[in-house]
């Protein structure tokens, strides 16, 4: 197979280019033929010679340099007044690839700030069909809240932030782009849009909207995304990453920090794949980063990782012995007494605080409560943390629900809203044959609470007018997760016909599958597992008077019954709301680990790729294979 690859670089990025090229060469199969092009934006002769040396001895790999002079002469005139010097012209070289390479039908563009860990032939072989581009969604941009200024910017551009592709790794269908007059469309967009925040990246997303094939994020794992991903989902684990992309702030780039500092944090583990290539690079002496610049960025990295709480390698005892964390402990305690709301903090910061602070700091109001209206599900997700794909048909009892709601109202009466958020969910709640009374009871007991019906959406098109009227009457938000098996445009239109608007769960447009492994030997450290678990004291679950700190505890019986296992559930794993004297007893219980915590494989949780159906095998919970 013939594989064409494009880089664009000046001499300032020659070192990074040498590392990226070295990683491509190392993983290239001799059974293929690789032709690497570099658009030369001022590389020195010495740099070009050194880059050629990386491919020496590989007859299956050729390296060609293309002077940017010819490109500038042709396309600067083409852009004319539309370009007007608003952006560096070199930013558009990948945009003009269809014309720069008229004899190629397909091209893989790679930024220089990457490290390849698999043969790029796998990516190049991806079928694009009639799409013009293949690219991975930018997880950092996808995670931006709607209130963020950039979210408003993308709305003005007419581009969904959840479908926004990062242009650092692009599979380009040059033949289709030429056929679709791609360059003319580019010029038209530049004429109409006076300011592009991310230059060519925005341009490609606007121009190719609806013509993009989405590839796995494993082929463009951006370090910034690993730092910023605050949804509670685990990022793709390193062993599954095909390309690390060191984009973003200076502290997110391994050549800007001391390698010893990066080794302290699991969030920086991707950095460690860069340093061996740097050590072997014939251009490593050209890396021009001063000691003080590295020191400054390393300090920022330390602060950044500590605040985000992204998996520190240092032992817990060492952390507890540091004066900084003792001061943090006192600061947090004082702040919480004065009303600092723990529930509003980011998930990773909560993890850090749970790791280093004693339980009394977390005796705080209940933020979110989850209640199953149906145990089973009509979808069947891989490794569901509620084990709903394993559960037999079972529905919530309205009398028990009334009993629990009234008791929770009594317990939380000291707080203005009682409970901030209640999720009526499952399983799949819409399987319940008589769901409307649950809406009424929940709203009557918690008039100011944000009540959401969390659903997979498969049955929404079957809901009659009385369902939608009840949704409006009791002010319930219909909050579906966007699984790829549903026609969401049709569902949106159907809800709108009843004057209802869907409130999508976590605003996720692309649903990935997660793996939630268990440690069936119960060998985990309960305190560390509790500290690192994003669900602990965050995803509280209530069933028949039993309140647990996470969904695994009250649903483990489904796993045990289906697979014949015996993960123990005891009365020490939950609190009975009908037996406690007051809310303080509840909060004290939730602030501490429980015996069940030792059976969770918290460190093995990860994203395993695009959403997939369950096979109902125990391997979904006890192995880490994808």
Please state whether the predicted TM-score (pTM) of the whole model is above 0.75: no
Q: Which pair of tokens denotes residue 486?
A: 């549903």
pLDDT per residue as tens digits for the range 357-384: 555 444 446 878 999 999 999 999 999 9
pLDDT band per the 50, 70, 90 thresholds, residue 224: low
pLDDT per residue as tens digits for the range 498-522: 999 998 876 555 567 888 899 999 9
CA angle, 227 as apex, 198 and 87 as ends, to 5°?
15
Separation CA 570–CA 526 (nearest Å): 15
pLDDT band per the 50, 70, 90 thresholds, residue 311: very low
Mean pLDDT of the chain: 82
374, 453 in Cβ contact below 8 A? no
pLDDT per residue as tens digits for the range 261-284: 776 655 566 788 898 999 999 998
Contacts of 620 (CB under 8 A, 6+ apart): 382, 383, 515, 614
Look at the block and give the residue holding tokens 């009227």: 469
DSSP 434-494: --HHHHHHHHHH-TTSEEEEEE-STTGGG--HHHHHHHHHTT-EEEE---TTS-HHHHHHH
More confident residue, 430 or 285: 430
Look at the block and give the residue holding tokens 């003080």: 292
Q: Give the pLDDT of residue 506.
A: 60
Q: Give the pLDDT of residue 316.
A: 33
Residue in 8, 71, 14 with CA at minimum distance from that of residue 40: 8
575, 589 in Cβ contact below 8 A? yes
Q: Give the pLDDT of residue 152.
A: 84
Q: What residues pair up with 454 in beta bridges, in sequence order?
A: 479
420, 367 in Cβ contact below 8 A? yes
Residue in 66, 78, 113 with CA at minimum distance from that of residue 184: 78
Q: Give the pLDDT of residue 264.
A: 63
Distances (CA, A) of 222 to 6, 225, 313, 473, 531: 19, 5, 21, 44, 26
Separation CA 347–CA 321 (nearest Å): 24
Distances (CA, A) of 274 to 167, 186, 226, 387: 20, 35, 16, 39
Share of the chain above pLDDT 90, in %: 50
What mean pLDDT do residues 540-568 have?
95
Indicate if the alpha-carbon torsion angle 482, 486, 490, 495 is positive or negative: negative
Separation CA 120–CA 110 (nearest Å): 10
Contacts of 526 (CB under 8 A, 6+ apart): 593, 594, 595, 597, 598
pLDDT band per the 50, 70, 90 thresholds, residue 72: low
pLDDT per residue as tens digits for the range 85-105: 555 666 678 888 898 899 999
Contacts of 51 (CB under 8 A, 6+ apart): 14, 17, 18, 21, 38, 43, 63, 283
pLDDT band per the 50, 70, 90 thresholds, residue 322: very low
How many separate helices (H) and strands (E) can be counted in the chain?
Answer: 25, 19
Residue in 402, 392, 305, 403 with CA at minimum distance from that of residue 355: 305
Separation CA 38–CA 20 (nearest Å): 12
């Amino acid at each position: 197979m013939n594989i064409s690859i494009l880089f664009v670089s000046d001499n300032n990025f020659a070192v990074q280019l040498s590392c990226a090229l070295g990683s491509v060469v190392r993983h290239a199969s001799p059974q293929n033929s690789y032709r690497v092009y570099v658009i030369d934006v001022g590389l020195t002769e010495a740099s070009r010679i050194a880059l050629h040396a990386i491919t020496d001895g590989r007859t299956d790999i050729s390296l060609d340099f293309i002077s940017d002079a010819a490109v500038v002469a042709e396309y600067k005139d083409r852009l004319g007044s539309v370009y007007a010097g608003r952006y560096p012209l070199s930013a558009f070289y990948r945009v003009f690839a269809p014309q720069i390479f008229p004899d190629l039908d397909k091209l893989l563009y790679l930024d220089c700030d990457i490290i390849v860990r698999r043969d790029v032939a796998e990516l190049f072989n991806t079928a694009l069909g009639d799409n013009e581009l293949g690219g991975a969604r930018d997880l950092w941009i996808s995670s931006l809240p709607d209130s963020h200024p950039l979210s408003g910017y993308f709305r003005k551009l007419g581009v969904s932030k959840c479908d926004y592709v990062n242009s650092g790794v692009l599979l380009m269908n040059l033949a289709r782009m030429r056929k679709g007059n791609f360059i003319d469309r580019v010029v038209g967009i530049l004429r109409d849009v006076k300011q592009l925040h991310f230059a060519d990246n925005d341009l490609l997303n606007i121009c190719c909207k609806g013509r993009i094939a989405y590839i796995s994020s494993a082929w463009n794992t951006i370090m910034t995304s690993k730092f910023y991903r605050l949804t509670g989902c685990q990022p793709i684990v390193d062993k599954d990453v095909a390309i690390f992309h060191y984009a973003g702030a200076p502290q997110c780039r391994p050549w800007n920090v001391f390698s010893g500092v990066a080794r302290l944090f699991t969030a920086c583990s991707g950095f460690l794949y860069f340093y061996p290539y740097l050590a072997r690079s014939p251009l490593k002496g050209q890396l021009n980063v001063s000691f003080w610049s590295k020191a400054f960025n390393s300090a920022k990295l330390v602060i950044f990782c500590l605040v985000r709480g992204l998996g520190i390698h240092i032992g817990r005892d060492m952390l507890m012995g540091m004066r900084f964390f003792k001061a943090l402990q006192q600061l947090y305690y004082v702040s919480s007494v004065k009303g600092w709301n723990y529930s509003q903090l980011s998930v990773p910061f909560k993890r850090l605080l749970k790791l280093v602070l004693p339980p009394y700091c977390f005796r705080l109001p209940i933020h979110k409560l989850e209640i199953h209206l149906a145990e089973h599900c009509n979808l069947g997700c891989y490794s569901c943390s509620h084990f709903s794909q394993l559960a037999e048909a079972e529905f919530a009892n309205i009398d028990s629900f009334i009993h629990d709601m009234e008791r929770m109202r009594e317990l939380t009466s000291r707080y203005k809203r009682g409970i901030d958020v209640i999720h009526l969910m499952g399983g799949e709640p819409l399987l319940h044959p008589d769901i409307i009374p649950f809406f009424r009871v929940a709203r009557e007991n918690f008039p100011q609470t944000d009540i959401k019906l969390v659903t997979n959406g498969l049955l929404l098109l079957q809901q009659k007018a009385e369902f939608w009227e009840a949704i409006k009457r009791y002010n319930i938000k219909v909050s579906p997760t966007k699984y790829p098996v549903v026609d969401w445009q049709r569902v949106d239109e159907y809800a709108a016909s009843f004057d209802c608007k869907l409130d999508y769960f976590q605003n996720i447009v692309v649903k990935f599958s997660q793996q939630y492994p268990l440690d069936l030997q119960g060998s985990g450290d309960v305190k560390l597992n509790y500290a690192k678990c994003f669900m602990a004291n965050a995803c509280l679950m209530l069933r028949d008077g039993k309140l647990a700190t996470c969904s695994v505890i009250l649903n483990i019986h489904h796993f045990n019954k289906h697979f014949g296992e015996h993960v123990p559930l005891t009365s020490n794993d939950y609190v009975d709301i009908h037996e406690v004297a007051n809310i303080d007893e509840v909060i004290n219980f939730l602030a501490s680990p429980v015996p069940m915590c030792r059976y969770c494989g918290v460190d093995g949780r990860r994203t395993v790729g695009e959403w997939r159906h369950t096979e109902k095998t125990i391997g979904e919970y006890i192995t880490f294979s994808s």
